[in-house]
Amino acid sequence: MKEKIQNIFAESIRVKEETLKANTDSIIKAVEEIIKALKNNGKILLMGNGGSAADSQHIAAEFIGRFQKERRSLPAIALTTDSSILTALGNDYGFDAIFARQIEGLGKPGDIIFAISTSGNSKNIIEGVKKAKQLGIKTIGLTGCEGGKLAGLCDINLIAASKVTARIQESHICIAHTICELVEDFFAKV
Protein backbone atom coordinates (compact mmCIF):
# COMPACT_ATOMS: atom_id res chain seq x y z
CA MET A 1 0.00 0.00 0.00
CA LYS A 2 2.87 2.37 0.82
CA GLU A 3 4.30 1.91 -2.68
CA LYS A 4 0.88 2.58 -4.26
CA ILE A 5 0.56 5.83 -2.27
CA GLN A 6 4.04 6.90 -3.34
CA ASN A 7 3.21 6.12 -6.98
CA ILE A 8 0.00 8.16 -6.86
CA PHE A 9 1.85 11.16 -5.42
CA ALA A 10 4.70 10.77 -7.91
CA GLU A 11 2.27 10.65 -10.83
CA SER A 12 0.41 13.72 -9.55
CA ILE A 13 3.68 15.64 -9.22
CA ARG A 14 4.81 14.57 -12.71
CA VAL A 15 1.50 15.63 -14.27
CA LYS A 16 1.63 19.00 -12.51
CA GLU A 17 5.21 19.59 -13.66
CA GLU A 18 4.30 18.78 -17.28
CA THR A 19 1.14 20.87 -17.00
CA LEU A 20 3.15 23.81 -15.69
CA LYS A 21 5.65 23.62 -18.56
CA ALA A 22 2.91 23.49 -21.19
CA ASN A 23 0.61 26.13 -19.66
CA THR A 24 2.64 28.89 -17.99
CA ASP A 25 2.04 31.43 -20.77
CA SER A 26 -1.65 30.52 -20.96
CA ILE A 27 -2.03 30.91 -17.19
CA ILE A 28 -0.53 34.39 -17.47
CA LYS A 29 -2.98 35.24 -20.29
CA ALA A 30 -5.89 33.90 -18.21
CA VAL A 31 -4.86 36.01 -15.21
CA GLU A 32 -4.52 39.10 -17.41
CA GLU A 33 -7.95 38.58 -18.99
CA ILE A 34 -9.60 37.98 -15.63
CA ILE A 35 -8.03 41.11 -14.13
CA LYS A 36 -9.08 43.13 -17.18
CA ALA A 37 -12.64 41.85 -16.93
CA LEU A 38 -12.91 42.50 -13.20
CA LYS A 39 -11.39 45.99 -13.49
CA ASN A 40 -14.08 46.82 -16.10
CA ASN A 41 -17.04 45.58 -14.02
CA GLY A 42 -17.16 42.16 -15.64
CA LYS A 43 -17.76 38.93 -13.78
CA ILE A 44 -16.56 35.35 -13.94
CA LEU A 45 -19.07 32.63 -14.82
CA LEU A 46 -17.89 29.08 -14.11
CA MET A 47 -19.30 25.77 -15.32
CA GLY A 48 -18.47 22.08 -15.06
CA ASN A 49 -20.04 18.68 -14.42
CA GLY A 50 -19.50 16.34 -11.46
CA GLY A 51 -16.14 17.03 -9.83
CA SER A 52 -15.69 19.96 -12.22
CA ALA A 53 -19.00 21.39 -10.97
CA ALA A 54 -17.59 21.23 -7.45
CA ASP A 55 -14.41 22.92 -8.71
CA SER A 56 -16.55 25.67 -10.29
CA GLN A 57 -18.18 26.33 -6.93
CA HIS A 58 -14.84 26.18 -5.11
CA ILE A 59 -13.21 28.70 -7.48
CA ALA A 60 -16.23 31.05 -7.37
CA ALA A 61 -16.03 30.99 -3.57
CA GLU A 62 -12.33 31.92 -3.66
CA PHE A 63 -13.13 35.01 -5.77
CA ILE A 64 -16.25 36.07 -3.83
CA GLY A 65 -14.68 35.49 -0.41
CA ARG A 66 -10.94 35.57 -0.29
CA PHE A 67 -8.15 33.26 -1.26
CA GLN A 68 -5.38 34.29 1.16
CA LYS A 69 -5.59 38.07 1.48
CA GLU A 70 -8.20 40.60 2.45
CA ARG A 71 -9.50 42.50 -0.57
CA ARG A 72 -12.81 43.44 -2.11
CA SER A 73 -15.15 40.68 -3.19
CA LEU A 74 -14.67 39.75 -6.85
CA PRO A 75 -17.84 38.82 -8.81
CA ALA A 76 -17.98 35.13 -9.71
CA ILE A 77 -20.94 32.81 -10.23
CA ALA A 78 -20.87 29.02 -10.45
CA LEU A 79 -23.58 28.09 -12.96
CA THR A 80 -23.80 24.68 -11.28
CA THR A 81 -25.58 25.60 -8.05
CA ASP A 82 -29.21 26.57 -8.64
CA SER A 83 -31.16 23.32 -8.67
CA SER A 84 -34.38 25.01 -9.82
CA ILE A 85 -32.66 26.57 -12.83
CA LEU A 86 -30.75 23.39 -13.66
CA THR A 87 -33.80 21.13 -13.46
CA ALA A 88 -36.09 23.56 -15.30
CA LEU A 89 -33.59 23.99 -18.12
CA GLY A 90 -32.83 20.27 -18.22
CA ASN A 91 -36.54 19.50 -18.40
CA ASP A 92 -37.55 22.23 -20.85
CA TYR A 93 -34.47 22.43 -23.11
CA GLY A 94 -32.40 19.32 -22.36
CA PHE A 95 -29.26 18.82 -20.29
CA ASP A 96 -27.03 20.07 -23.11
CA ALA A 97 -28.55 23.58 -22.79
CA ILE A 98 -28.21 24.11 -19.02
CA PHE A 99 -25.13 26.33 -19.26
CA ALA A 100 -25.80 28.02 -22.61
CA ARG A 101 -29.16 29.28 -21.41
CA GLN A 102 -27.70 30.66 -18.18
CA ILE A 103 -24.90 32.37 -20.11
CA GLU A 104 -27.49 33.90 -22.42
CA GLY A 105 -29.34 35.34 -19.40
CA LEU A 106 -26.41 36.29 -17.16
CA GLY A 107 -23.42 36.87 -19.44
CA LYS A 108 -22.33 39.98 -21.27
CA PRO A 109 -19.28 41.09 -23.25
CA GLY A 110 -16.55 41.91 -20.76
CA ASP A 111 -17.28 38.84 -18.64
CA ILE A 112 -15.16 35.69 -18.50
CA ILE A 113 -16.48 32.15 -18.95
CA PHE A 114 -14.47 29.48 -17.13
CA ALA A 115 -15.34 26.15 -18.81
CA ILE A 116 -14.12 23.07 -16.94
CA SER A 117 -14.23 19.63 -18.54
CA THR A 118 -11.68 16.91 -17.84
CA SER A 119 -12.26 15.36 -21.28
CA GLY A 120 -12.84 18.63 -23.10
CA ASN A 121 -15.84 16.97 -24.73
CA SER A 122 -18.75 17.64 -22.36
CA LYS A 123 -21.62 18.64 -24.64
CA ASN A 124 -23.23 21.10 -22.22
CA ILE A 125 -19.88 22.82 -21.65
CA ILE A 126 -19.26 23.03 -25.40
CA GLU A 127 -22.74 24.50 -25.93
CA GLY A 128 -22.07 27.03 -23.16
CA VAL A 129 -18.81 28.11 -24.80
CA LYS A 130 -20.53 28.40 -28.18
CA LYS A 131 -23.16 30.68 -26.63
CA ALA A 132 -20.43 32.76 -24.97
CA LYS A 133 -18.68 33.16 -28.33
CA GLN A 134 -21.95 34.30 -29.95
CA LEU A 135 -22.28 36.94 -27.22
CA GLY A 136 -18.65 38.10 -27.50
CA ILE A 137 -17.61 36.79 -24.09
CA LYS A 138 -14.01 35.63 -23.52
CA THR A 139 -13.63 31.95 -22.68
CA ILE A 140 -11.06 30.02 -20.69
CA GLY A 141 -11.08 26.23 -21.04
CA LEU A 142 -9.70 24.04 -18.29
CA THR A 143 -9.36 20.52 -19.70
CA GLY A 144 -7.21 17.41 -19.90
CA CYS A 145 -6.87 14.66 -22.51
CA GLU A 146 -5.21 17.01 -25.02
CA GLY A 147 -8.09 19.47 -24.74
CA GLY A 148 -10.83 17.64 -26.61
CA LYS A 149 -13.30 19.67 -28.69
CA LEU A 150 -13.22 22.48 -26.13
CA ALA A 151 -9.60 23.33 -27.01
CA GLY A 152 -10.69 24.39 -30.48
CA LEU A 153 -13.37 26.70 -29.11
CA CYS A 154 -11.88 28.57 -26.14
CA ASP A 155 -9.85 31.77 -26.32
CA ILE A 156 -7.42 30.46 -23.71
CA ASN A 157 -6.76 26.76 -23.09
CA LEU A 158 -5.31 25.32 -19.90
CA ILE A 159 -4.79 21.62 -20.53
CA ALA A 160 -3.68 19.21 -17.80
CA ALA A 161 -1.05 16.79 -19.10
CA SER A 162 -2.95 13.57 -18.37
CA LYS A 163 -5.79 11.32 -19.47
CA VAL A 164 -6.50 10.19 -15.89
CA THR A 165 -9.46 12.09 -14.43
CA ALA A 166 -8.07 12.25 -10.90
CA ARG A 167 -4.71 13.65 -12.06
CA ILE A 168 -6.48 16.14 -14.36
CA GLN A 169 -8.66 17.38 -11.50
CA GLU A 170 -5.64 17.72 -9.21
CA SER A 171 -3.91 19.83 -11.84
CA HIS A 172 -7.07 21.86 -12.43
CA ILE A 173 -7.30 22.90 -8.81
CA CYS A 174 -3.58 23.77 -8.79
CA ILE A 175 -4.07 25.95 -11.90
CA ALA A 176 -7.19 27.55 -10.41
CA HIS A 177 -5.47 28.29 -7.10
CA THR A 178 -2.55 29.83 -8.99
CA ILE A 179 -4.96 32.05 -10.92
CA CYS A 180 -6.82 33.00 -7.73
CA GLU A 181 -3.59 33.93 -5.98
CA LEU A 182 -2.31 36.09 -8.85
CA VAL A 183 -5.65 37.84 -9.36
CA GLU A 184 -5.93 38.39 -5.62
CA ASP A 185 -2.40 39.83 -5.47
CA PHE A 186 -3.47 42.45 -8.02
CA PHE A 187 -6.71 43.43 -6.25
CA ALA A 188 -5.19 43.36 -2.76
CA LYS A 189 -2.97 46.25 -3.87
CA VAL A 190 -5.84 48.28 -5.38
Give the mean pLDDT of 3-31: 97
CA distance 143 to 126: 12
What pLDDT score does 189 carry? Answer: 79
Output the domain CATH number for residue 156.
3.40.50.10490
pLDDT digits (tens, 9 = 90+) for 5-15: 999 999 999 99
Q: Which residue range(s) make up the domain with 178?
A: 2-189
Q: Where are the beta strands (DSSP E) in 40-143?
A: 44-47, 76-78, 112-117, 138-143
Nearest residue to 131 (alpha-carbon basis) of 145, 117, 111, 148: 111
Residues across the chain: 190
What pLDDT score does 177 carry? Answer: 98
pLDDT tops 80 at residue 190 = no
With cut-offs at 50, 70 and 90, classify the pLDDT of residue 138.
very high
CA distance 42 to 37: 5
CA distance 114 to 60: 10
Average pLDDT, the chain: 97
| Three-state DSSP state, 144 | coil
How many structural domains comprise the chain?
1
| Three-state DSSP state, 140 | strand
